[in-house]
């Protein structure tokens, strides 16, 4: 059975997650730039065993801003998986946004990346990653590569292979190139309709969907392992959807409603004509 949240608790959850995005829209409309993140002079650099990135203040002028982002907007809001926090401290988000958005890379809100798509706010990336409950050897499928940032975070965890699908050819090409340049060799990408998953490499221990369909795609459910998990926003095209976590337990899906979120819609022939998987 799906657990329904208390009405007011869900409304508070919605406001807490979309408020940073509302603020940035207000700032942009006024022709202003949001205030920069505070920088902690005592934070220490970390190195990446996955990508080979060596992060020092001299080599990465955004290091301190990234560490402060994790501390003030992710860790403080309840994400506590140490490996997820480590990955968020390492992956250079400023390299996954357009050059004219670099100064905003470590603010906690989505940013446009072209073609009507966005890079998700850092807190949502960290939270959804934690919800996957990944462990050593897990194989992960991402639907919606976008800039490649979420895939890089998943790869940085170092648990296993990451597969990522992007429907927009231009984004698929640039993300693939960017991930390779940054040394994320455990990420495989392709251009295609993510609604249908990536059957050649199935089954997956976890599937993360970073754009919102209006139903749970049945091909993705079919590509889960026996104890696989899907984290996905579901809802109509518009401002709000609901974030769900589905887990395959003894051949049946258990669902958890995690409250309101705002994502770009999942596009393609699959979502327009596909059938919904049965839900609890």
d(CA 103, CA 97): 10
Residues annotated as part of the active site: 120
3-class DSSP state of 211: coil
Inter-axis angle of helices 122-131 and 82-90, nearest 10:
140
Q: Is 59 exposed, middle or buried (0-12, 13-18, 19+ CB in 10 A)?
A: exposed
Residues with Cβ < 8 Å from 83, sequence gap 6 or more?
157, 158
Query: What gap in Å lies between CA 52 and CA 24, rounded to an integer?
Result: 33
Residue with tokens 């400023």: 94
Token output for 36: 């920069």
Please tell me the distance from the alpha carbon of residue 27 to that of residue 23, in angstroms, as a whole number: 6
Dist. CA 90–CA 30, nearest whole Å: 33
The position carrying tokens 């609890």 is: 280
Neighbours of 131 (CB within 10 A): 21
Decide: 170 and 188 in contact? Cβ < 8 Å. Answer: no
């Amino acid at each position: 059975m799906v657990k329904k949240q208390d009405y007011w608790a869900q409304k508070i959850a919605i406001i807490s997650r979309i408020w940073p995005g509302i603020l940035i829209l207000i700032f942009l409309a006024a022709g202003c730039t949001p205030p920069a993140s505070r920088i902690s002079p005592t934070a220490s650099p970390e190195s990446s065993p996955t990508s080979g990135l060596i992060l020092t203040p001299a080599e990465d002028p955004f290091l301190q801003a990234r560490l402060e982002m994790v501390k003030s907007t992710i860790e403080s809001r309840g994400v506590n998986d140490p490996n997820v926090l480590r990955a968020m401290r390492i992956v250079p988000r400023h390299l996954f946004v357009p050059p004219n958005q670099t100064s905003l890379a470590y603010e906690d809100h989505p940013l446009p990346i072209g073609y009507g798509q966005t890079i998700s706010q850092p807190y949502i990336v960290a939270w959804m990653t934690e919800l996957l409950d990944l462990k050593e050897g897990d194989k992960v499928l991402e639907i919606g590569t976008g800039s490649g940032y979420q895939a890089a975070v998943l790869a940085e965890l170092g648990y296993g292979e990451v597969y990522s699908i992007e429907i927009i050819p231009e984004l698929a090409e640039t993300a693939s190139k960017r991930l390779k340049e940054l040394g994320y060799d455990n990420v495989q990408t392709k251009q295609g309709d993510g609604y249908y998953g990536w059957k050649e490499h199935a089954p997956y221990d976890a599937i993360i969907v970073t754009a919102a369909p209006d139903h749970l795609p049945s091909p993705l459910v079919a590509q889960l392992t026996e104890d696989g998990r899907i984290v996905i926003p579901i809802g109509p095209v518009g401002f709000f959807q609901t974030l769900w976590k589905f887990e395959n337990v003894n051949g049946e899906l258990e669902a958890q409603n995690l409250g309101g979120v705002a994502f770009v819609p999942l596009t393609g022939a699959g979502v327009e004509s596909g059938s919904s998987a049965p839900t609890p």
